[in-house]
Structure 1
Amino acid sequence: MRAGIQLAVVAGLLGLALSTPAGAEARDIGRETLAPDDGWAAADGGTTGGSAADDAHVFTVTDRAGLVRALDGGSDTPKIIKIAGTIDANTDDDGDRLDCADYATDGYSLQKYLAAYDPRTWGSAKPSGPQEEARRASAARQAERVVLPVGSNTTIVGLGDSTNTAVLKGASLRVKDADNVIIRNLDIRDAYDCFPVWQPNSGGLGDFKTAYDNIWLSGATHVWVDHVTLSDKGHPDEKEPTYFGRNYLRHDGLLDITNASDLVTVSWSRLSGHDKAMLIGSSDSATGDRGKLRVTLHHNAFESLVQRAPRVRFGQVHLYNNRYVVPDDAHDYRYSIGVGTESAIHAENNAFTTPGHVEVADLVKSWNGSALHQSGSLFNGYPVDLLAIYNAYNSGSERDLTADVGWTPTLHGTIDSAARADKEVARGAGSGRIP
């Protein structure tokens, strides 16, 4: 910085001008908007985020306090927020680090909570009483710090490249009932829940439920998520202990799209190292989602995920040119594409790489779904028909899926072969890799 200032002073004394080469303007990704054919988020007027922001509403932030001020409580004022360096949401107003003990209140402790609701003595009733009340109060204290509301007409971008990418740690970006939002070039990691709740009847055996997604779209429309990296980096759930015979999960989804969200494009992003990665549609009974949840997923890397890449209910989802990688040691892998109630997934030219114990039929699971369009799929380098293999493998145990999903995508760029997309996504997906 000092050398740059000195150079500018010398140039001024010599009457020289320092500028970019003629015809080459410095790129400002904060002003960039979604291309007119780039998926569902390009429909009905497109997605421009905060590109119209005046200079007073362009911010460069380096800590949580600055980010909170820039977000302005989720206001609809056009704004561009540029994140530099690493921002930790689990910090106080002075920037000092907060841990789970700092949020705990009203006598909450994990040991007391586990003792109070041990199924052997508590049974299968929903937790209630002093320790559950203390857990809720403690959780509310953490939520005040880590849940960051994103309002309409907002662009959030990270500064830097792959060697010094911007990081948002411990936060949950919540785009609720907002329209026209862009999130790009950012590593969002470890939305860590200090206070999971025990649900005795979940899944039949009980389970721990967590509160925070890295990004949660709830009733959001016209959203573009691009070149974002999403993970649990720092606190992988696989290293958490087991209580009541269940993994003590600390993370919810990486990117969930629910509650009638609509017109969303997720492109060139990397989702990795997680259990339930992406949920589109929150429940089978949410019939208000009909006609909504129109989502395009293209050129994304889904790596080391257990399930939900994505799991879809109701929505028309265009899934093309994505790269799926299941690592050799992934013995807990469940599925990649979840075909849920009234879902209409149009999957084209996606590439899957798996170890020997994962078969083609494992890639798709039906959750009361009825249809899946697929074409151009590659499995470990070989062309496969996901639909035909799914139906053959599951014959007699689940109803067959038909190929007619009732719609054909029209908003998309060039759809490459799965082999070419596999290589390009490996090189280009994730934060710090905008070309």
Structure 2
Amino acid sequence: MARNPMMFLSCLLLSLDIAITIAVSSSPVQDPELVVREVHERINNASRRNLGYLSCGTGNPIDDCWRCDSNWEKNRQRLADCAIGFGKHAVGGRDGKIYVVTDPSNDNPVNPKPGTLRHAVIQNEPLWIIFARDMVIKLKEELLMNSFKTIDGRGASVHISGGPCITIQYVTNIIIHGINIHDCKRGGNADVRDSPEHYGWRTVSDGDGISIFGGSHVWVDHCSLSNCNDGLIDAIHGSTAITISNNYLTHHNKVMLLGHSDTYTQDKNMQATIAFNHFGEGLVQRMPRCRHGYFHVVNNDYSHWEMYAIGGSANPTINSQGNRFAAPNDRFNKEVTKHEDAPEKEWKKWNWRSEGDLLLNGAFFTASGAGASSSYAKASSLGARPSNIVGSITSAAGTLHCKKGSRC
């Protein structure tokens, strides 16, 4: 008799749940890192039970969740169920209507017109925002997003460039997928609307590609980012529950800042997953630069840095797992890590580890800290794949060329 695969997986998950429950209840002092790994394995298996029947076998759990669906265009909002890591609960506009952007050139920061991207992102209700055709959007001021929004560029070539770019400030549940974000400039000293009921004066912005300021449950996936005034993606001022995945980042100096300043201790609660990204040509530093919080850097491909790849200050916990680090040919820049703004007697206490990383061309990772498992448990968000398959996992990083009626 043929076995029903979904029934088999359900039984397997039930057995796993029972096993984990028994293990936890029978051991009053269990290694917290082991508990987290078991829980994440259970979550990942449950996700595969619900979503994995579409698996294309790439080894990338996000892509395997949706990319081989030839009807992706009719099932767009299903993408929201494919997130992983600390930002896995970011639903964006999954539970709202589809909003089609038709007008790329008529940006009005205070009175946005229907059909523009700005009009879409400021609405109060959940919206899944898509694009009628290929377009380049040059914003006049920061794009201030309201909560429960998805910007989904699949099926079109969408560029946000040449002006201020995206700001996620004190809002929650944001997904940004499939957008080219580059050449972002500073804005400000102007009124900008952030909801249908409110607009206010904005001071000068930094010119980030994506700025997350006090935001939570944010997922940035399959975007291509380069050459912005400040950071490509920055998360500061108490932001948390963030996943940055499958992005292609190139030609930039200060790539990614996670944590506002050494004195801003509210960032101690930050948790961010950096997974399956390709850090490519022309990058200098901050991939990412971390402060205070807990950071899982997993299965990324680092093919270029000029100063360092991963750095930080103010005692962050950095869990680097299954990454591929190819050091530059310059003999002075082989070190992956940079412990910043502290003497060695202090940074030696910071919990930074490299586990299963592939270090090429003389690359080396300077680990530190006592390796407290409870600290790394807080910085663990998903199971790492082997570093020798990172090339295939990240081969489709950046924006995708999705056509209706065929796999993406």
- For the aligned pair, the TM-score class normalised by the smaller chain equals 0.5 to 0.7
Contact residue 89 and residue 146 of structure 1 kept, 8 A: no
State the shift of 1:64 in Å. 4.2
Q: Kindly provide the CA deviation profile for residues 3-38 of structure 1, in whole angstroms up to 9, marking residues without a partner as x.
A: xxxxxxxxxxxxxxxxxxxx9745346413444771
Give the secondary-structure state (helix, strand or coil) at the position aligned to 1:32.
helix
State the shift of 1:61 in Å. 3.2
Contact residue 96 and residue 127 of structure 2 kept, 8 A: yes
Aligned with residue 97 of structure 2, among 35, 54, 79: 54
Q: Kindly provide the CA deviation profile for residues 153-208 of structure 1, in whole angstroms up to 9, marking residues without a partner as x.
A: 00001133xxx63211124100000000000011111102489xxxxxxxxxxxxx
Q: Which has the larger radius of gyration?
A: 1
Alignment-mate amino acid for residue 343 of structure 1 = P
- Give the Cα separation in 2 of the matches to 1:295 and 1:372: 15
State the shift of 1:257 in Å. 0.5
Alignment-mate amino acid for residue 89 of structure 1 = K
State the shift of 1:433 in Å. 5.5
Asked if 1:40 is matched to 2:76, the reply is no
- Give the Cα separation in 1 of the matches to 2:331 and 2:238: 33
- Give the Cα separation in 1 of the matches to 2:260 and 2:72: 42
State the shift of 1:380 in Å. 2.1
- The answer for the alignment partner of 2:121 in structure 1 is 71
- Give the Cα separation in 1 of the matches to 2:329 and 2:94: 47
Give the secondary-structure state (helix, strand or coil) at the position aligned to 1:70.
helix
RMSD (CA atoms): 2.8
Which structure 2 segments of 5+ residues have no match? 1-68, 107-115, 189-203, 403-407
Aligned with residue 31 of structure 1, among 58, 77, 85: 77
Asked if 1:190 is matched to 2:183, the reply is yes
Contact residue 372 and residue 402 of structure 1 kept, 8 A: no
Aligned with residue 212 of structure 2, among 217, 242, 246: 217
Which structure 1 segments of 5+ residues have no match? 1-22, 91-144, 196-208, 233-249, 328-332, 389-399
Contact residue 360 and residue 379 of structure 1 kept, 8 A: no
- The answer for the alignment partner of 1:146 in structure 2 is 141
**Count of residues in correspondence between the two structures:** 300
State the shift of 1:381 in Å. 6.7
Aligned with residue 430 of structure 1, among 382, 392, 398: 398
- The answer for the alignment partner of 1:168 in structure 2 is 160
- The answer for the alignment partner of 1:226 in structure 2 is 221
Q: 1:35 to 1:159 in 2, by over 3 A?
A: closer
Q: 1:186 to 1:261 in 2, by over 3 A?
A: same
Give the secondary-structure state (helix, strand or coil) at the position aligned to 1:188.
strand
Aligned with residue 258 of structure 2, among 266, 269, 280: 280
- Give the Cα separation in 2 of the matches to 1:64 and 1:281: 34
- The answer for the alignment partner of 1:342 in structure 2 is 315
Q: Kindly provide the CA deviation profile for residues 283-321 of structure 1, in whole angstroms up to 9, marking residues without a partner as x.
A: 001012222x20001000112211110000011111000
Asked if 1:310 is matched to 2:280, the reply is no
Give the secondary-structure state (helix, strand or coil) at the position aligned to 1:421.
helix
Percent of residue pairs bearing the same amino acid type: 25
Aligned with residue 251 of structure 1, among 225, 229, 241: 229
